[in-house]
């Protein structure tokens, strides 16, 4: 933190997400652990706190409210992030920013597509974690008229 400054460091937490063998199965312990963590992080002047999971669950709502700084929300794996949900969370004040995963992987021009109501490419889940550029840098963009390139 002294090397880059507290305000340039963000932290992502994944309470109870239970992926890849990292298991938090005791709900009470998980919730009290994350409350303690977030209270401590609030003292540090971080750039942001980033969460994954439904922000309307009681524990995430509490963590997001008690954090003293900018919040970034990712709603989790199911459903995939969409524009309506993202803007709803911002407009209702439940998040300062929204993190987008799969739609951005599959749509290098996601911002323009969302702005103009254009259809989205479908992410190829079989290419996730694949170790090559396939499924990361080869999705087509749209031209100005909304037609697919490539």
Ligand X SMILES: Cc1cc2nc3c(=O)[nH]c(=O)nc-3n(C[C@H](O)[C@H](O)[C@H](O)COP(=O)(O)O)c2cc1C
Looking at beta carbons only, is 101 or 140 nearer to ligand X?
A: 101
Which one of residues 101, 112, 118, 124 is an interface residue with ligand X (CB under 6 A)? 101
Looking at beta carbons only, is 85 or 141 nearer to ligand X?
A: 85
Question: Using CB atoms within 10 A of its CB, is residue 79 exposed (0-12), middle (13-18) or buried (19+)?
Answer: exposed
* Partners of residue 148 on adjacent β-strands: 142
Restricted to residues 15-44, the positions that interact with ligand X (CB under 6 A) are: none
Residue 129 as a binder of ligand X (CB under 6 A): the answer is yes
Residue 45 as a binder of ligand X (CB under 6 A): the answer is no
Interatomic CA distance for residues 140 and 150, integer angstroms: 5
Phi, psi for 131 (deg, rounded to 5): 85, 0
Residue 52 as a binder of ligand X (CB under 6 A): the answer is yes
Question: At its nearest, how many Å lie between ligand X and the CB of residue 52?
Answer: 5
- Number of Cβ within a 10 Å radius of residue 2: 5
Q: How far is the CA of 125 from the CAs of 78, 96, 98, in angstroms?
A: 13, 28, 21
Of 31-39, 88-96, 101-109, 137-145, the segment contacting ligand X by CB under 6 A is 101-109
Of 32-40, 55-63, 74-82, 114-122, the segment contacting ligand X by CB under 6 A is 74-82
Residue 137 as a binder of ligand X (CB under 6 A): the answer is no
Q: Return residues touching ligand X (CB under 6 A).
A: 12, 14, 52, 74, 76-77, 80-81, 100-103, 128-129
């Amino acid at each position: 933190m002294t090397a880059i400054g507290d305000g340039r460091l963000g932290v992502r937490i994944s309470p109870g997400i239970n992926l890849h063998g990292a298991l938090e199965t005791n709900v009470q312990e998980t919730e009290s652990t994350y409350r303690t963590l977030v209270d401590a992080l609030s003292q540090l002047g971080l750039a942001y706190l980033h969460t994954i999971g439904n922000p309307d669950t009681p524990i995430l709502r509490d963590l997001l409210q008690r954090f003293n700084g900018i919040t970034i929300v990712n709603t989790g794996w199911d459903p995939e992030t969409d524009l309506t949900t993202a803007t709803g969370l911002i407009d209702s004040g439940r998040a300062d920013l929204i993190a987008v995963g799969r739609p951005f992987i599959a749509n290098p021009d996601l911002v323009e597509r969302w702005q103009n109501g254009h259809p989205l490419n479908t992410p190829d889940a079989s290419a996730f974690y694949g170790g090559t550029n396939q499924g990361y840098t080869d999705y087509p963009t749209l031209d100005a008229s909304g037609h697919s390139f490539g």
